[in-house]
Amino acid sequence: MQLYLNTSSPYARVVRVCLYEKQLIERTELCWCDPWAADSELVQITPLSRIPTLVTDAGDVITESLLIAHYLDAVGEGPSLIPSTILAETLALAGLGQGLMDAAFNVVIGRKHGGNEVDTTLLGQRRLKAIERTLITLNAHPSVLAGSAQRTLGAITVAVALAYISFRLPAFDWQNRYPTLHAWQAKVVEGESFALTEFE
């Protein structure tokens, strides 16, 4: 398989973590690229020119991090990332994580292309408020309060989104403001799948 990615994409990191968790990293060629470059090789692979993009051994091109994770879960080894016994909880957490990631990524990309004043626009305000509300919700979330560090797709997605906020939006200072969430995330990120996929 081939995975198109870069070192700063939270979406790509979710997939990289899944590759380690499902023991598929050795079977996957990592194709580092810049999705924003007009002449990127990625455009030949997918018209969307977005990462992560996975090309399977059979040549299918899968985009969207959660869909790729779903595929890896089916073809890899070890415990399921989407256990049927806790399906709804796992998907609910994954949705919160993906939404948090979307809001944070849009703040970052908005500032990059429009300057920090985009924070004062209607959309900018909505995204910042969504991040804050989601942090509050996660800090009191039953899965977080239960303290389970099981690396389901839900836990992985939330943990990566939080790591991305630390990386790109440190002013949120979520670790100090939400210590329960911080303690839970610290447990989820223990292990090589997170250690070997640090943002750069």
Ligand X SMILES: N[C@@H](CCC(=O)N[C@@H](CS)C(=O)NCC(=O)O)C(=O)O
DSSP H helices, the chain, are 10-21, 42-45, 65-75, 87-114, 122-139, 142-146, 153-168, 174-177, 179-188, 192-195
Among 27, 34, 36, 87, binds ligand X (CB under 6 A): 36
DSSP structural state of residue 84: G
Among the candidate windows 45-53, 54-62, 144-152, 169-177, which touches ligand X by CB under 6 A? 45-53
Strands 2-5 and 29-32: parallel
User: CA-to-CA distance for 76 and 149, rounded, in angstroms?
Assistant: 20
Instruction: Specify the residue, 178 or 193, whose C-beta has the smaller distance to ligand X.
Output: 193
Among the candidate windows 47-55, 79-87, 134-142, 145-153, which touches ligand X by CB under 6 A? 47-55
Binding residues among 52-91 for ligand X as defined by CB under 6 A: 52, 64-65
Instruction: Specify the residue, 70 or 187, whose C-beta has the smaller distance to ligand X.
Output: 70
Among 2, 40, 43, 50, binds ligand X (CB under 6 A): 50
Among the candidate windows 24-32, 50-58, 117-125, 162-170, which touches ligand X by CB under 6 A? 50-58
Residue 66's Cα: distance from chain center in Å? 9
Residue whose C-alpha is closest to residue 142's, from 101, 96, 176: 96
Which residue ranges make up the site for ligand X (CB under 6 A)? 9, 11, 35-36, 49-52, 64-65, 105
